[in-house]
Amino acid sequence: MNKQLNLAVAAAVLAFSASANAGITIPAGDWTVDIGGNMNAFYTHTQSDVTTAAGVKTSAADSNTVGTGLLPSAFGIGAKSRQNDMDVAFQFSFFTGTSSGSATAAGNNSLNIRQAFLSFGDAAWGTIKLGRDLGVFGSDAILSDMTLLGVGVGGPASGSSTLGRIGSGYIYADWVGQVQYASPNWNGFSFTVAVSEPLDNSLNGLGKTADLTTGVVSTTAATSNREDMGFEGKVDYDFAVSDVTGRAWLGGISQEHSNGTFGGYRSEGIEIGAKAAAYGFGLVGYYYTGDGLDSQNVLGGLKFASGQKN
């Protein structure tokens, strides 16, 4: 089933959208409160073909959706201040889709609090962030995706958003609890490192069970312990030459997946990318490679989603 879905190709995606953005800044004593967000809605009609493992191609049922694109609708509340010679800030952001979610009567969708963090620092020595925010590895890739404000790959009626190009060129940076340090900017150079909470995983092939009747030994999945923290980091260089502006970056990620009974393995990867813009045009190039990062199945592009070692 996974192989069939993995090979499904969207033949046509038609989208009409309406969007709105808002931002309000409110002085409040020593603090400045920022309230903002976005609303978007797309009508999407998707036609797709499904190819089985045997190479048989069939047409899947068409899908119609009125929902958000890759970026869900969002509402954010944040505040910042200068306290004790430090820049202090916090942010809460709430994301949701616009479809009924379940595609049934009295259906509902989910509210996702993707950002909930505080930060403190100074331009002289950098910024420390604690809480939930976008991961470091792959963050420049998704934030540079031209489909972020559009539809990208069409999706079913359920779910909060489409997948854009996630899994088709980059893996999802995801929203994770982390302790992050971002350096000052030194003539365009800066770096960011983070220790993130471990994402749970199923370790394919690390558990084995035997049928007592037939004696056949089969492979099962063993759930990993959430004891090994993840590590992410990147180096950025921002440049501006005449009318050309851009960024180049190099990043890495590593997380150990362990199980006390069956052993474990390490997921790791590197990325390199660059983007440039001039006269209203932009170009992005990106490459990543690694082991155990994403499964490239129906959930392709999601970090450690299905416990694939390779």
Fold of domain 2-291? Porin (2.40.160)
Q: pLDDT of 49-98, one tens digit each?
A: 777 777 788 877 787 888 888 888 899 999 999 999 999 999 999 998 88
Kindly tell me the sign of the dihedral angle through the C-alpha atoms of 142, 147, 150, 152. negative
> Distance (Å, rounded) from C-alpha 310 to C-alpha 308?
6
Dump pLDDT digits (tens) for 227-260: 789 999 999 999 999 999 999 999 999 988 776 5
Is the separation of the CB atoms in 244 and 277 below 8 Å? yes
Write the pLDDT tens digit of every residue in 185-201: 999 999 999 999 987 66
Question: In this predicted structure, what is the pLDDT of residue 258?
Answer: 74
The pLDDT tens digits for 261-278 are: 556 778 899 999 999 999
pTM confidence score: 0.81
The whole-number pLDDT of residue 102 equals 67
Q: What is the DSSP letter of 141?
A: H
Give the CA distances from residue 95 to residues 159, 166, 167, 168, 297, in Å, rounded to whole numbers and listed in that order: 12, 18, 21, 23, 26
Domain ranges of the chain: 2-291
> 74: closest CA among 33, 38, 46, 125?
38
pLDDT at 228: 82
pLDDT in tens, 212-222: 455 554 444 45
CA distance 154 to 69: 8
3-state class of 76 per DSSP? strand
List all residues 6 or more positions away from 307 whose beta carbon is below 8 Å from its beta carbon.
201, 202, 203, 204, 221, 224, 257, 295
Best CA proximity match to 164, nearest among 290, 297, 300: 300
pLDDT of residue 168: 81
Tell me the C-alpha distance between 179 and 167, whole Å. 26
